[in-house]
């Protein structure tokens, strides 16, 4: 996947996307979404418009953002007579999201899944709901329990969003036929966020530091922020073992640990945590740049080679 702000050739982006074969399947999954005749819906990567046409039948207005210039031109021609559809040419990662209330429904290019989710869930212009057709493995990482263990991605999203996998699709529903399993993920913005904006920034830094630490268990990952006695007390009070892995703890348990950090952490430990998310993103960006360079040079070795 590309890092935020990364670039991708138009052909490569098209080939990372799988299009629905049958209108009946599209109608089925749109029926699972909470879409009404009052909604403004943004679609990402409409391709040939099989989803766009069905959204236009259900919603008040559809904005379809297409990166491929030729597909965009064809779609404008095909949907020219549909008055409630606007086809926009551009990279969704740089598209200016609506200021008003809106929803998202899209079958997204798989190689920019993380970029799309990050754009939709950070900042002040998040949709009230987003329905994304994506690879099942990625959806489970975003959603966490009951679909999978908590991950850094799921824990970062949950203060402001509720996530669930609504439907598993068949590989034969798409053209070309993907090798990976495909699902429909719902992300719903909480009416009442669990944390304030200021608390969420600190929470994200805290999680990024802990998940970046070396160590097999949660006690080792927390040792730079808490004393062993503090960790033991939190484990007893919140029902987890000190030998548990970080992915074994629930969102509620991580919230309790974070709140203990806010209440008890010394100044030097707060300084250690501050800016951890930016540091992690910089490291990930450097790794992604190395991987892109290797692909361009035709390197065949693995990342660890």
Q: What is the pLDDT of residue 293?
A: 52
Q: How confident is the model at residue 81 (pLDDT cuts 50, 70, 90)?
A: confident
Q: What is the pLDDT of residue 12?
A: 47
- Domain shared by 272 and 178, yes or no: no
Domain end call among 189, 218, 244: 189
- Domain shared by 162 and 70, yes or no: yes
Does residue 287 form part of some domain? no
Q: How confident is the model at residue 288 (pLDDT cuts 50, 70, 90)?
A: low
- Domain shared by 29 and 137, yes or no: yes
- Domain shared by 41 and 153, yes or no: yes
**Residues in CB range of 251: below 8 A, 6 or more apart:** 144, 150, 154, 155, 158
Does residue 288 form part of some domain? no
Domain end call among 189, 207, 224: 189
- Domain shared by 207 and 250, yes or no: yes
Does residue 2 form part of some domain? no
- Domain shared by 34 and 113, yes or no: yes
Q: What is the torsional sign of CA 202, 275, 293, 11?
A: positive
pLDDT digits 0-9 by tens, 21-77:
999 999 999 999 999 999 999 999 999 999 999 999 999 999 999 999 999 999 999
Does residue 255 form part of some domain? yes
Does residue 84 form part of some domain? yes
Q: How confident is the model at residue 286 (pLDDT cuts 50, 70, 90)?
A: low
> DSSP class of residue 108?
-
Q: How far apart are the first and last CA of the chain?
A: 20
Beta-ladder partners of 175? 19
CB-CB contact of 108 with 17 (8 Å): yes
Q: What count of other Cβ atoms lies within 10 Å of the Cβ of residue 138? A: 20
**pLDDT over 70, % of the chain:** 88
303 is written with which tokens?
Answer: 């990342």
pLDDT digits 0-9 by tens, 180-226:
999 999 999 999 999 999 999 999 999 999 999 999 999 999 999 99
Does residue 74 form part of some domain? yes
- Domain shared by 185 and 222, yes or no: no
Does residue 299 form part of some domain? no
Domain end call among 189, 215, 248: 189
Q: What is the pLDDT of residue 17?
A: 73
Look up the CATH number of the domain holding residue 114.
3.40.50.150
Does residue 289 form part of some domain? no
- Domain shared by 224 and 184, yes or no: no
pLDDT digits 0-9 by tens, 142-161:
999 999 999 999 999 999 99
CB-CB contact of 77 with 13 (8 Å): no
- Domain shared by 89 and 212, yes or no: no
- Domain shared by 61 and 25, yes or no: yes
- Domain shared by 31 and 95, yes or no: yes
Q: How many domains does the chain have?
A: 2
| Domain span at 102 | 10-189
Q: What count of other Cβ atoms lies within 10 Å of the Cβ of residue 208? A: 20
- Domain shared by 177 and 204, yes or no: no
Q: How far apart are CA 171 and CA 173, in angstroms?
A: 5
């Amino acid at each position: 996947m590309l890092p935020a702000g990364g670039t991708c050739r138009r052909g490569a982006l098209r080939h990372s996307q799988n299009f629905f074969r049958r209108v009946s399947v599209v109608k089925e999954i749109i029926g699972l979404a909470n879409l009404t005749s009052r909604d403004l819906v943004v679609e990402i990567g409409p391709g040939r418009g099989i989803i766009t046409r069905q959204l236009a039948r259900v919603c008040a207005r559809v904005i379809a953002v297409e990166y491929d210039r030729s597909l965009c031109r064809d779609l404008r021609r095909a949907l020219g007579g549909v008055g409630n559809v606007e086809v926009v040419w551009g990279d969704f990662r740089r598209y200016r999201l609506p200021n008003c209330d809106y929803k998202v429904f899209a079958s997204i290019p798989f190689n920019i899944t993380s970029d799309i989710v990050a754009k939709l869930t950070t900042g002040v212009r998040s949709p009230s709901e987003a329905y994304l057709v994506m690879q099942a493995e990625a959806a489970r990482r975003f959603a966490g329990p009951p679909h999978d263990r908590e991950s850094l991605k799921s824990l970062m999203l949950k203060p402001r969003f509720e996530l669930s996998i609504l439907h598993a699709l068949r590989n034969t529903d798409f053209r070309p036929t993907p090798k990976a399993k495909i699902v429909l993920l719902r992300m719903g913005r909480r009416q009442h966020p669990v944390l304030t904006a200021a608390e969420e920034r600190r929470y994200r830094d805290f999680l990024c530091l802990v998940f970046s630490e070396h160590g097999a268990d949660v006690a080792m990952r927390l040792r730079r922020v808490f004393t062993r006695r503090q960790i033991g007390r939190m484990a007893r009070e919140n029902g987890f073992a000190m030998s548990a892995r970080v992915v074994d703890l629930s969102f509620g348990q991580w919230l309790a640990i974070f709140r203990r950090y806010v209440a008890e952490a010394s100044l030097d430990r707060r300084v250690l945590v501050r800016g951890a998310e930016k540091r992690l993103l910089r490291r990930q960006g450097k790794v992604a740049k190395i991987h892109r360079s290797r692909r361009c040079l035709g390197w065949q070795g693995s990342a660890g080679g």
